[in-house]
């Protein structure tokens, strides 16, 4: 049985790796990719999504989305992902064009055409917020949202804010208040599931896909001596292997102004929302399993 998903993304090196997994795993049916401004500008994130899909010879529609957050000024992460968003590998210039529909239109049409679909946002949530505001009827067709972003233990943009939420906190608040079941795959797990140096080295010796990922990952200005985080890949890993995660249901609020803007605040005692929850929050992960799974997935790709 396959899981039908739509990815809303901002490639970005780790997004490219997440797309690679989603495109190639037979348990996942990737219906649509929508791009949003985030790691780099939306023209570049759209082109990068097209490059990955073309690399694998797939026919998956890509739609361009929001150029900037709802309210907050746009701040990219080119310092981490390079000016193009995906440096290190030559994908050529013939990788196709996005469809003519906007991301919101494409999301609406794709969601309404399915009985139930899982949304997988791995960039800022601007497209998702615009979709819910313009077409609230789609909510009943969405099974759940598995979103990379947020943190219960400290941020990477400020001491409390993770990048995807920080980029558009107003959109994040709309998404978390949507009433749709959400799995929060945040820094609490992604900073533990580091691709080790050994894993990265093996990628480069594996096959054409491994060579491509190795080239991108070695240009990724994120990580430590212990390895490099593939933040967005953890959403796909969760879909396929939820048993590798430790999670807790709680209510998550998003701060949209002030010095804590972009913070995701969990009601860990269930004390402030009448016991209600709006998210299942990832708190821990089997990092060894993640590395083994990553290599195994790539080893099967031609």
Q: Which residues are catalytic?
A: 231
In degrees rounded to 5, what are phi and psi of residue 248? Answer: -145, 135
Give CA–CA dist 209/58, Å, rounded. 14
Given a contact cutoff of 8 angstroms between Cβ atoms, the answer to whether 190 and 153 are in contact is: no
- Please measure the distance between the N-terminal and C-terminal CA atoms of the chain and give it in whole angstroms: 23
Cβ neighbour number for residue 231 with a 10 Å cutoff: 28
Short-list 145, 146, 149, CA closest to 163: 149
Given a contact cutoff of 8 angstroms between Cβ atoms, the answer to whether 29 and 1 are in contact is: no
Given a contact cutoff of 8 angstroms between Cβ atoms, the answer to whether 62 and 53 are in contact is: yes
Strand, coil or helix: what is 166? Answer: helix
Query: Do the bridges between strand 228-229 and strand 245-250 make them parallel or antiparallel, or are there none, so unpaired?
Result: unpaired
């Amino acid at each position: 049985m396959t899981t039908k998903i739509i990815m809303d993304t901002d490639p970005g090196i780790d997004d490219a790796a997440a797309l690679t997994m989603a495109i190639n795993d037979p348990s996942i049916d990737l219906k649509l990719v929508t791009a949003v401004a985030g790691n780099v500008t939306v023209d570049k994130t759209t082109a990068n999504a097209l490059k990955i899909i073309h690399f694998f010879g797939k026919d998956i529609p890509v739609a361009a989305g929001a150029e900037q957050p709802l309210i907050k000024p746009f701040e990219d992460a080119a310092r981490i992902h390079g000016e193009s968003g995906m440096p290190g590998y030559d994908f050529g210039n013939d990788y196709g064009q996005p469809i003519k529909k906007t991301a919101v239109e494409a999301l609406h049409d794709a969601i309404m055409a399915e009985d139930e679909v899982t949304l997988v946002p791995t960039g800022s949530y601007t497209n998702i917020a615009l979709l819910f505001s313009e077409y609230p009827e789609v909510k009943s067709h969405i099974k759940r949202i598995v979103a990379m972003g947020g943190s219960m233990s400290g941020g990477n943009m400020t001491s409390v804010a993770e990048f995807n939420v920080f980029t558009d906190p107003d959109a994040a608040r709309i998404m978390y208040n949507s009433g749709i079941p959400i799995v929060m795959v945040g820094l609490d797990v992604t900073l533990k599931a580091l691709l080790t140096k050994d894993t990265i080295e093996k990628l480069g010796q594996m096959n054409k896909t491994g060579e491509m990922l190795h080239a991108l990952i070695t240009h990724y200005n994120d990580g430590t001596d212990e390895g490099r985080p593939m933040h967005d890949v953890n959403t796909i890993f969760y879909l396929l292997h939820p048993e590798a995660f430790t999670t807790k249901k709680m209510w998550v609020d998003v701060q949209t102004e002030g010095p804590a803007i972009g913070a995701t605040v969990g009601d860990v005692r269930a004390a402030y929302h009448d016991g209600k929850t709006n998210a299942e929050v990832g708190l821990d992960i089997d990092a060894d399993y993640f590395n083994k799974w990553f290599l195994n997935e790539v080893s099967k790709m031609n």
